[in-house]
């Protein structure tokens, strides 16, 4: 049995989202978003090297030693699947382990709003899930794929690095490809997928201009494309897509994006008030005519105004959802302020709403 298995079993038992192993340090556990020291002695550099290397093939060992870091996935039968990043540092090695549940969650289980299911009825277009690292983007995308797998009959291709949730075929044929093992890059796999008769393409990370360009093209020619970006708001997402292109192409890209954008879900994971895990705080943008027009006219800075007034269409700003979660007692006001787009405004509004009414004699 690999030495790491004992640590990974503890992760599942104590609801640990991430495990960090670093040479000459105690193991560190992230529980409900907070990093804590594990009750274990520091691992020596040699112990950690043995622990990590016994999970790797010879080719992976060579890649780690050559490049300095390596992404991979590991399945512990009966426990869970784990996403791993091993890397060299001073001194020695380190590795981060992220737990991936065996069961793919549903959108309802994640507490996602109905508007996301509405987006997934689109036959083609671009749906983006955005947020910083460790904000639950992969889990939300997996739930979206699971929803499509149960509600449509088609071909879904996922391009990931590494493969995380493993999807069984339900109503759909699902083919999952891992960058570096089944294909060279996201861009090359996305280009090839256009010849593989997909209905839906999931792009695990839209990290470069070529991948973004191909995703827009795939959306335009009839595929539904799901993708991720590391942005903190819906309006910022528009700029992140357009800005990498040369200036003389940006007008064309804005027009293309305005035609294919179905919606954006930007999320943050926030600690619950009862300390029992975290909840997703969401900003949701729907590509309605007003939004499309603002994208074409280079007025992305006005998108928040549309989102504020279009709540009936399922749109909401992050701070609006944070305020709702405070009112429902799901999170504390102090925790919400840490993630708010406008912390001072949210704090002031929260104080006003919780201030006791004056007593009249």
**Block residue for tokens 């507490």:** 111
The domains located in the chain, with CATH, are: 4-100 (3.30.450.90), 114-316 (3.40.50.300)
> What does the pLDDT read at residue 282?
97
Q: What pLDDT, in 10s, does the model give residues 41-57?
A: 999 999 999 999 999 99
Helix axes 250-260, 234-242, angle to 10 degrees: 130
Q: 31 — alpha (psi -120 to 50), left (phi > 0) or beta?
A: beta
> What does the pLDDT read at residue 285?
97
DSSP letter (8 states) at residue 357: P
pLDDT band at 235; cut points 50, 70, 90: confident
The partner residues of 270 in beta bridges, in order of sequence, read 279
What is the pLDDT averaged over residues 330-338? Answer: 95
Q: How far separated are the first and last CA of the chain, in Å rounded?
A: 75
Q: pTM here?
A: 0.90
The partner residues of 87 in beta bridges, in order of sequence, read 69, 94
Residue 104 parent element (H or E):
none
Identify which of 303, 277, 255 has the alpha carbon closest to the alpha carbon of residue 136.
Answer: 277
Dump the DSSP string for 230-285: --SSHHHHHHHHHTTS-GGGHHHHHHHHHHHEEEEEEEEEEE-TTSSSEEEEEEEE
What is the pLDDT averaged over residues 277-303? Answer: 95
* Burial (CB count within 10 angstroms: exposed 0-12, middle 13-18, buried 19+), residue 285: buried
DSSP letter (8 states) at residue 317: -
């Amino acid at each position: 049995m690999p030495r790491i298995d004992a640590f990974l079993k503890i992760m599942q038992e104590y609801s640990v989202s991430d495990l960090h192993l670093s040479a000459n340090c105690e193991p560190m556990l992230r529980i409900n978003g907070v990093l804590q020291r594990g009750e274990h002695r520091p691992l020596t550099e040699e112990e950690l090297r043995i622990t990590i290397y016994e999970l790797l093939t010879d080719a992976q060992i060579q890649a780690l030693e050559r490049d300095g870091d390596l992404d991979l996935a590991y399945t512990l039968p009966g426990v869970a699947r784990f996403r791993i990043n091993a890397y060299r540092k001073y001194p020695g090695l380190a590795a981060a382990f992220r737990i991936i549940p065996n069961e793919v969650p549903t959108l309802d289980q994640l507490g996602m709003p109905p508007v996301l299911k509405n987006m997934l009825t689109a036959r083609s277009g671009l749906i983006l899930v955005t947020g910083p690292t460790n904000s639950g983007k992969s889990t939300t995308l997996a739930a979206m794929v699971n929803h499509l797998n149960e509600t449509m009959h088609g071909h879904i291709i996922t391009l990931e690095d590494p493969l995380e949730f493993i999807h069984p075929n339900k109503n759909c044929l699902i083919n999952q490809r891992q960058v570096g093992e089944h294909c060279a890059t996201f861009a090359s796999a996305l280009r090839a997928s256009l010849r593989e008769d997909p209905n839906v393409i999931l792009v695990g990370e839209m990290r470069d201009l070529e991948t973004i360009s191909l995703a827009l093209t795939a959306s335009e020619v009839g595929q539904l494309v799901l993708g991720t970006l590391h942005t903190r708001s819906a309006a910022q997402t528009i700029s992140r897509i357009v800005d990498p292109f040369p200036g003389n192409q940006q007008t064309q890209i804005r027009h293309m994006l305005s035609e294919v954008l179905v919606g954006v879900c930007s999320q943050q994971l926030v600690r619950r008030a009862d300390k029992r895990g975290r909840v997703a705080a969401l900003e949701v943008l729907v590509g309605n005519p007003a939004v499309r027009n603002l994208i074409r006219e280079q007025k992305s800075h006005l998108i928040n105004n549309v989102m504020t007034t279009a709540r009936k269409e399922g749109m909401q700003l992050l701070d609006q959802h944070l305020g709702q979660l405070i009112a429902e007692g799901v999170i504390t006001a102090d925790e919400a302020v840490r993630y708010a787009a406008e912390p001072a405004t949210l704090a002031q509004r929260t104080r006003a709403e919780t201030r006791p009414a004056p007593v009249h004699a």
